[in-house]
Copies of this chain bind each other. A is one copy, B any other.
């Protein structure tokens, strides 16, 4: 049996003028994949009858159409009449929907408005699907064998209805094919070089598996995924192929799970009972920031000295001013002094330091914009490396952050 065709339509002017980023489509895609379905397309349109009718007509080759948005108390003036037009029906009072709205207002202790009462008028031919999360109705309609489901656009309501009510109905009604994915996180190698190294393996993959490269700030996420009626075979094949991949490029893989590098470092530190601190110049506190977003990071993170002003590298971190004068602020000698200095100052097991030129100003022929020195001080000594991360300030900061955590990870693995 073939996969059914599923399309998503998001309705809302706010999505098209960039006021709100559409996160519903990605969430639906993820949920559908995990349940053995596949989202084929996601279309965003504005609140207009013409656009809505065109979009509906464009979905008549699908089996299932998931529509989100256009049903709030101020937005449904256009959507609901248009739905009636398309399904050749009319609005009628729905007692079940009304009771749901009343119950919701009672629970929240708010007064109900006339506008909210209007939300209980639904297309006559629809099946009403309960919404326990808000006043907007969820509606199920069919036309020429195509199922259209209308959900509110508010993510938290949409997610609740989808999981509680809709997905169980979909799995009963439609055929699904088991899906599984694995993610391998790499760093230190560009997308195209990585692709070259694993080309033969990729070419030889069974045709029900596919590989995707997802590059981001000095990392490449590799996603190997597939669908197969035989879930066990799928699982075992993924095991085998992932093991082969791991053997091909072990030096670039920092995680066999879908997690950022700072999380890998956090887990290593927790397991080894070690602490670290950072001394940051060009990264301006970003190492500290991304690490402290992790709940519980205080267990292994001692602190940071952002020494943006040059004299602070001497005063706070103890890098001799003669070293700075002799070698320059962006140099191996200074970054090593910073790493060692912050390790001592913060009484940590590891000190990580960055100094560089994030740009757009401050570059020179010898030290162009994008140059970053990174060092790690450990109980066993010092490691340092020089990088060039290009011209964009934010990009330099983010890539230097990833590279610094990778150096700390490598150091931790040797301990």
Contact = CB atoms under 8 A, between A and B. Distances in A.
Interface of A: 13-23, 25-31, 33, 38-46, 51, 55, 58, 72-75, 107-110, 113-116, 133, 135, 154, 156, 181, 190-193, 195-196, 210, 212-215, 221, 223, 225, 275, 278, 280, 283-289, 291-293, 295-298, 301-309, 311-312, 315-316, 345-347, 358-362, 370, 388, 390-395, 397
A345 B315 contact: yes
- What 6 pairs across the A-B complex have the smallest Cβ distances? A284-B292, A18-B30, A285-B288, A285-B285, A304-B306, A18-B29
25 contacts: A14-B214, A16-B40, A16-B41, A17-B29, A18-B30, A19-B214, A20-B26, A20-B214, A41-B51, A42-B43, A72-B191, A72-B213, A74-B192, A107-B390, A109-B388, A156-B394, A285-B286, A289-B289, A295-B393, A298-B309, A298-B362, A303-B308, A306-B306, A309-B346, A316-B346
A223 B19 contact: yes
B298 A292 contact: no
Q: Select the residue from A17, A221, A225, A280 with max chain B CB neighbours within 10 A.
A: A17
Contacts of A22: 21-22, 25-26, 42
Nearest to A27: B18
A196 B113 contact: yes
Q: How many chain copies? A: 2
A284 B293 contact: yes
A195 B305 contact: no
A335 B328 CA distance: 35
A165 B391 CA distance: 18
A390 B213 CA distance: 37
Given A113-B192, A215-B72, A289-B286, A21 B19 contact: no
B312 A303 contact: yes
Contact of A110 (B18, B72, B75, B190): B190
A82 to B, nearest CB: 15
B303 A191 contact: no
A340 to B, nearest CB: 16
A278 to B, nearest CB: 8
A33 B17 contact: yes
A162 to B, nearest CB: 13
Given A287-B285, A304-B304, A361-B296, A346 B312 contact: yes
